Structure 1
Amino acid sequence: METMLFLEQDVDERSPTLNCIIEIARRKKCDLKCVFLVPVSLEVVDWIQVQEKQVKVAMAKAEEIGKKIHEKLAAEGIKFSWKVTPFTPTAFMESVREMMPADVVIVGKLALEPLAEKGIKHLEDLSISLSCPVLPARSLIKEKSSTGQILSRMLLFGAASAGIYFGFFPLLDKLNKIVYMKGGVLDALALMLTVPIVAYTYGSFTEGIPKLLGLEKSVKH
């Protein structure tokens, strides 16, 4: 692995997640890129009076954090670059694409709801959009498992994910007419059950990737 991209909303230099990412970059001797996102509310009428100063202060704080990390890692010979941007759907996608390519994208604190208009409702949507593995930061701090256990779990859920992709998705239009979109209570329940099952299956497969790449930080007892 040569380059890792980390996405974080409301960045805090004391954040255990941020420090874990920095540790991984040190250990793997890989380039680290970060996009620090500053939330804004487009629905606030008095935007200028209420938010302009707050956003400016938050962006300046994030810039200072970026500079501190840069100085620290530069002294250790590790390349670090960062970008601070207001968290709007368009600015988010533009900023992330500017920081690509990366071998893996790690997502810390990030509200996905604002990204729905860009078709990003789950991390796998972002992964498809960027053509790059996208993993939640929480998957990096796990109890240590053996490689055999990791591979067995990935094989199981990888096969299930492939079955869903090649067997379930091609039938989705037909299932919508027969099951999901008929408007009844049972149809709604079927949809509510299907979505988390698909998400859990995909997530259970991808959570093994950082372990195989040596990215996880094992919990010490």
Structure 2
Amino acid sequence: MPPSRPITLIVATTPIPTEGSSIRLGIGHSGTLPWPRIKTDMSFFARVTSRAPTPGTTNAIIMGRKTYDSVPAHLRPLAKRISTIITRDVDSLTERVGREVEVRREKIAASAAASTSAGKLGKVFVIGGAEIYGAVLAAGKGVWGGPVRIVMTNVEKKGYAEGNKGEVFECDTFFPVDEELFLEKEGWRKVSAEEVTEWVGELVTGEWIEEGDVRVQMVGYERQ
């Protein structure tokens, strides 16, 4: 029986204008985040991914090897969450990370399906990178049995927000779809701040929050 619970991609993106009219969504540069540490977003990510929906359950986070390696060593594995790494090199990675992290060679669909069907697991989050996000988005909705959700933190430089479209972060890694995907296309809809609040278990207003030279905004999308 296919899992019925949602699978949620959680990601921070920054707009990168192209020569055309589309906007690409940058997520990384040189193996790390394109922007300096943003406390607002990092604490939001930690709270949301570790907050189990019911007592006695633990959330799962699914990621690729590069995403795992991008986490500071003293924070690996991320506490209060079950970590699963998707990689082609299972043996060497298993030896390196130890028994606290599950390492799989399976395709993302099989791994996520196994996670969402496990009884003691709470929510299931996919945290990157681009290839893993892309595999989830490319899978037919029948794979999951439930909706696919995206909890996205929009990150902008203040100059960009004020109209200077050249004020962007340098990116070499991008979310696998551009901004146009979410404009009522391919079954996606942008959800209300109230719905995002319900998903994550804390108040999300949808308002921009300024921190230093950047501003962030938490939004959500869903595909049934």
TM-score with structure 2 length normalisation? 0.38
Q: Structure with the greater relative contact order (CA < 8 A, sep ≥ 6): 1 or 2?
A: 2
Larger Rg: 1
Task: Give the number of the structure whose residues are more often strand, by fraction.
Answer: 2
Structure in which a larger fraction of residues adopt helix: 1
